[in-house]
Copies of this chain bind each other. A is one copy, B any other.
Amino acid sequence: MKLDELDTPAALVDVTRMNRNIARMQSRMNALGVRFRPHVKTTKCLEVVRAQLAAGADGITVSTLKEAEAFFAAGVTDILYAVSIVRSKLPRAMALRQQGCDLKLVVDNALAAAEVAKFCAAQRETFEVWIEVDTDGHRSGISPEQDGLLEVGRILHEGGIKLGGVMTHAGSSYDLHTPDALSALAERERSGCVRAAQRLRDAGLPCDAVSIGSTPTALAAGKLDGVSEVRAGVYVFFDLVMHNIGICSTDDIALSVLATVIGHQPEKDWVILDAGWMAMSRDRGTSKQTRDFGYGLPCTLDGTPLSDWILSSANQEHGILSPVHGTRGKSLASRFPIGTKLRILPNHACATGAQFPEYHALSADGETTVWSRFHGW
């Protein structure tokens, strides 16, 4: 189908842009001499992941066991489940392992490590486990210098678990917007994770993998000495948050929401669209950045940004487009007649994509193909 034949709202993937984003990240990782393990939580879509693997990615990162199950069923075996495991999730993880999935788990505390070891002993099986390291204080993980790091390492190793490595995610990179700050955080992420690996090795513990990454730090890193692999997710589509961080232009953003004008309120300078928060998601990630795009930046059907307009407000199935400066009054309806189709660039591609059961992949020839995606856990 052509773009103007699609029902709206619809999630569009510009395949040309996506492939360019994939090539950019992969060539950067190749130049830095590290493996690249894309985080598939952004898309949960087999066609996208196949394109990432075809470009040179080594294995994938997942945020849920459902992702691990879906991509293993599709033939991907090297999978890092990058959320700290708990006892109740071990049987489901073990089922994957027993089917031949090279599933790697993550822990950041002694209790979880002991439970993995105890579970494996009872099952007469083992897991490969990586330790999560906290390099920027934004979420989970053990700081590189904490005693707990070696304690967790020993519990795993002495409990018969394969201690496969360390991993960290400098998610605070989303709060930055200058090249210098991003480079500094990238170096902090690298050096912290390498230091954690060194401490484990110095204590006689194995630690092959040193895995780091977030999209902004991956693109800001100048050298990656001691790092074995990098992970990143949102780079594949980019979004307005990434634009504000300064690592992509609006022309790189591969995901947009196709919407139709369904009404006007000329006294308020409002154009009403059929893309509300159910389509865009409630993510307001640009609200604290240097430029607030509301719920999204509208573009014409051919992808040209209408930089004087934003999706300023959203109800469940209604989006309100309004001018950033000044008023348009009665000219609204002639500028955006009822039935006009627009493409809205999202704040956060991971959140917007999750609102849709499928993407419509738009090729350079203007044809679209359905790429299904899944949700849930």
Contacts and interface: CB of A to CB of B under 8 A. Distances in A.
Contacts of A9: 377
Nearest to A374: B357
Interface stretch (A156-164, A216-224, A300-308, A311-319): A311-319
A354 B278 contact: yes
Contacts of A171: 315
Nearest to A171: B315
Interface in A287-346: 315-318, 320, 337-339
A41 B317 contact: yes
6 contacts: A83-B274, A84-B272, A86-B262, A277-B351, A357-B375, A357-B376
A112 B338 contact: yes
Given A109-B338, A375-B375, 12 more contacts: A8-B88, A63-B317, A86-B261, A88-B260, A112-B263, A115-B338, A139-B318, A140-B263, A281-B282, A282-B282, A282-B284, A354-B355
Contacts of A350: 316
Interface string A116-145: 000000000000000000100101100000
A315 B92 contact: no
Given A109-B264, A263-B108, A64 B358 contact: no
A265 interface: yes
A64 B274 CA distance: 10
Interface string A80-112: 000111111100100000000000000011011
Contacts of A238: none
A194 interface: no
A283 interface: yes
Interface size for chain A: under 10, 10 to 19, 20 to 34, or 35 or more residues? 35 or more
A337 B112 CA distance: 10
A41 B320 CA distance: 19
A269 to B, nearest CB: 13
A235 interface: no
Chain copies in the assembly? 2
Contacts of A279: 377
A316 B41 CA distance: 9
A115 B262 CA distance: 12
A182 interface: no
Given A140-B272, A339-B88, A358-B376, A83 B320 contact: no
A316 B375 contact: no
Interface in A1-59: 7-10, 41
A268 interface: yes
Contact of A139 (B87, B134, B272, B375): B272
A264 B320 CA distance: 40
Nearest to A282: B282
A71 interface: no
Contacts of A64: 317
Contacts of A338: 86-87, 109, 111-112, 115
Interface in A231-289: 260-265, 268, 272, 274, 277-279, 281-284
Nearest to A277: B351
Contacts of A63: 278, 316-317
A242 to B, nearest CB: 15
Given A83-B262, A263-B140, A111 B274 contact: no
A210 B319 CA distance: 25
A350 B281 CA distance: 12
